[in-house]
């Protein structure tokens, strides 16, 4: 294969997603705006890309579709070269996660009101945002990484406000845009300082140069800004305040994508910048009080991340306790879950990396799924308050059961994927010894705390009668959809998420094993 073709093959999933986005916009231009058509193109694009990624990951039955040779993955670039991208199996795992989030949201959105204008915009932007996420997962250069994040960000700003109905989505979009722009500025400024310090923005080169010149003040400042910028994207406390308003104001399907999908871009960026190639240059350097700790500038960054992690978990959970609106509650719970993921980054060992990744997967299924359910029952006339969900569990047993399952998984109840992910994550923190044990304890206490508000929703859904005042149980829905009013697409997406939550909760090994293998090879890059 010639060079161009090789590049094209490497980027096959990205190209498929890009093509589906362009096709959607093209269909819009030529006047085909039927929801089934444009939605079908978008969903098919992410499904096909998902299959391609799985093939590249080495899934045996898909070997024929493989576009990157097995030997071309997880290979660190030659010393002295500074490629913009490189493909790691860990990046592919994240691509698969991103695509599954995009697929689930797209599938559910096939059930939206077909008379509603803007379907082409929605699916086109969804594909574009996914494209940015896929690129993040192959980045090996700070600028490439930040630009890819920008592709996602700009698409999602538009997604939040695209309906142009009502003031709240617009307010949310504006807020999202302003905050996003500020955080991007911070991150780019950080990258420029790092460039000033090391003369390169390539992560592998930075690792090599830092190995010889150490960490000048300029670089530390740069990392500080970079952390702040990425912390906004990942909704870490105290950079979280925007997330609740945005998730609340956005169309709920978009919230599902933001919480379940695009937020994880920041998580992966953290992995890449702190656990991938860069900061592993002096593991166990003399004078490092943490011995084999992975960070060369370790203790400070590590403690900063640990503080972020504990703060994020705790603040997210405590504020979630106080919420009366379902979407805001889920948004705060989403913030606290970001804290768990950061915990894995803080610990920084390969097992912790795998644990955090599994947590990301769990979060895609349970939080993405939960938002999809919220969007679905909103179409049935259920209001925004938690109290509006009274009696839903008995009125709509299947939908209620799926939502209950997602909440139980978020709370970390056994037999759900949420339990396995927390178990792997927390036990990896304990395994790392040192003060990480206390991080695990903080995580456990937090998940005990989170049970309160999830149980409160369950109580409302199942134990409280639906109409205390004799008001109609469910106001007349705006339109009648099949599959219990949810529509086939949404019902299928919710069912997929619910089944996956249970299957992976009962027997996680088939997915957990590959994630662990990918995480260790990624971790080994920096060693």
Per CB under 8 A, residues contacting other proteins are 350-351, 408, 413-415, 419-420, 423-424, 426-428, 430-431, 437, 441, 444-445, 447-448, 451-452, 455-456, 459, 462-464, 507-509, 512-513, 516, 520
Whether the Cβ atoms of residue 121 and residue 243 lie closer than 8 Å to each other = no
Whether the Cβ atoms of residue 25 and residue 17 lie closer than 8 Å to each other = no
Give the bridge partners for 202, in sequence order: 141
Give 47 or 320: the residue with its C-beta nearer to other proteins.
320
Backbone angles phi, psi at 325, to 5 degrees: -100, 140
Number of neighbours of residue 455 by Cβ within 10 angstroms: 13
Give 194 or 504: the residue with its C-beta nearer to other proteins.
504
Give 463 or 488: the residue with its C-beta nearer to other proteins.
463
CB of 505 to other proteins, least distance (A): 9
CB of 516 to other proteins, least distance (A): 7
Angle ∠(387,402,379) on CA atoms, nearest 5 = 55
Whether the Cβ atoms of residue 149 and residue 232 lie closer than 8 Å to each other = no
Whether the Cβ atoms of residue 520 and residue 430 lie closer than 8 Å to each other = no
Give 200 or 394: the residue with its C-beta nearer to other proteins.
394
Give 110 or 440: the residue with its C-beta nearer to other proteins.
440
CA distance 129 to 27: 19
Q: Would you state the torsion angle of the CA atoms of residues 193, 264, 519, 282, taken in this order, to the nearest 10 degrees? A: 20
The position carrying tokens 């695990």 is 440
Give 140 or 428: the residue with its C-beta nearer to other proteins.
428
Number of neighbours of residue 509 by Cβ within 10 angstroms: 10
DSSP string across 68-104: S-GGGSSPPPPTT---SB---HHHHHHHHHHHHHHHH
CB of 509 to other proteins, least distance (A): 6
CB of 34 to other proteins, least distance (A): 38
The two tokens of residue 362 are 């769990």
Give 371 or 454: the residue with its C-beta nearer to other proteins.
454
CB of 452 to other proteins, least distance (A): 7
DSSP state of 471: -
Rounded CA Rg of the chain: 22
CB of 414 to other proteins, least distance (A): 4
CB of 413 to other proteins, least distance (A): 6
């Amino acid at each position: 294969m010639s060079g161009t073709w090789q590049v094209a093959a490497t980027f096959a999933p990205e190209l498929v997603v890009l093509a589906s986005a362009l096709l959607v916009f093209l269909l819009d231009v030529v006047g085909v705006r039927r929801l089934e058509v444009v939605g079908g193109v978008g969903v098919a694009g992410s499904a096909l890309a998902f299959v391609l990624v799985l093939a590249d990951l080495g899934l045996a039955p898909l070997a024929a579709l493989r576009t990157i040779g097995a030997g071309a993955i997880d290979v660190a670039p030659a010393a002295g070269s500074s490629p913009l991208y490189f493909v790691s199996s860990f990046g592919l795992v994240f691509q698969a996660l991103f695509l599954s989030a995009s697929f689930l949201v797209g599938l559910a959105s096939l059930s939206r009101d077909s008379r509603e204008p803007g379907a082409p915009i929605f699916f086109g932007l969804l594909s574009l945002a996914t494209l940015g996420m896929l690129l993040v997962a192959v980045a090996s250069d700070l600028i490439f990484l930040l630009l890819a994040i920008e592709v996602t960000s700009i698409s999602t700003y538009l997604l939040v406000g695209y309906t142009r109905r009502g003031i709240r989505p617009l307010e949310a979009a504006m807020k999202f845009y302003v905050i996003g722009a500020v955080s991007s500025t911070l991150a780019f400024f950080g990258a420029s300082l790092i460039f000033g310090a090391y003369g390169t923005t390539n992560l592998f080169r930075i690792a090599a140069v830092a190995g010889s010149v150490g960490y000048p003040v300029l670089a530390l400042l740069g990392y500080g800004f970079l952390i702040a910028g990425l912390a906004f994207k990942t909704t870490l406390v105290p950079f979280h305040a925007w997330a609740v308003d945005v998730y609340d104001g956005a169309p709920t399907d978009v919230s599902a994508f933001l919480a379940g999908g695009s937020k994880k871009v920041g998580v992966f960026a953290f992995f890449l910048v702190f656990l991938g190639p860069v900061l592993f240059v002096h593991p166990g350097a003399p004078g490092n009080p943490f011995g084999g700790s992975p960070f060369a500038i370790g203790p400070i960054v590590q403690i900063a991340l640990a503080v972020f992690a504990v703060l994020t978990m705790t603040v997210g959970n405590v504020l979630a306790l106080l919420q009366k609106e379902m979407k805001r509650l889920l948004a705060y719970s989403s913030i606290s879950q970001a804290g768990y993921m950061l915990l894995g980054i803080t610990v920084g060992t390969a097992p912790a990396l795998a644990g955090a990744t599994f947590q990301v997967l769990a979060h895609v299924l349970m939080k993405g799924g939960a938002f999809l359910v919220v969007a679905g029952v909103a179409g049935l006339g259920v209001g925004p308050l938690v109290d509006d969900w009274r009696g839903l569990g008995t009125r709509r047993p299947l939908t209620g059961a799926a939502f209950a399952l997602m909440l139980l998984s978020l709370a970390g109840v056994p037999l759900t994927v949420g339990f396995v992910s927390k178990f792997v994550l927390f036990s990896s923190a304990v395994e790392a010894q040192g003060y990480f044990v206390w991080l695990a304890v903080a995580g456990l206490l937090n998940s005990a705390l989170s049970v309160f508000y999830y149980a409160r929703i369950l109580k409302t859904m199942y134990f409280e009668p639906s109409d205390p005042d004799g008001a109609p149980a469910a106001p007349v829905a705006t339109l009648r959809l099949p599959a219990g009013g949810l529509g086939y697409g949404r019902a299928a997406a919710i069912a997929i998420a619910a089944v996956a939550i249970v299957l992976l909760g009962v027997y996680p090994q088939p997915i957990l094993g590959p994630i662990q293998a990918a995480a260790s090879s990624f971790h080994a890059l920096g060693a």
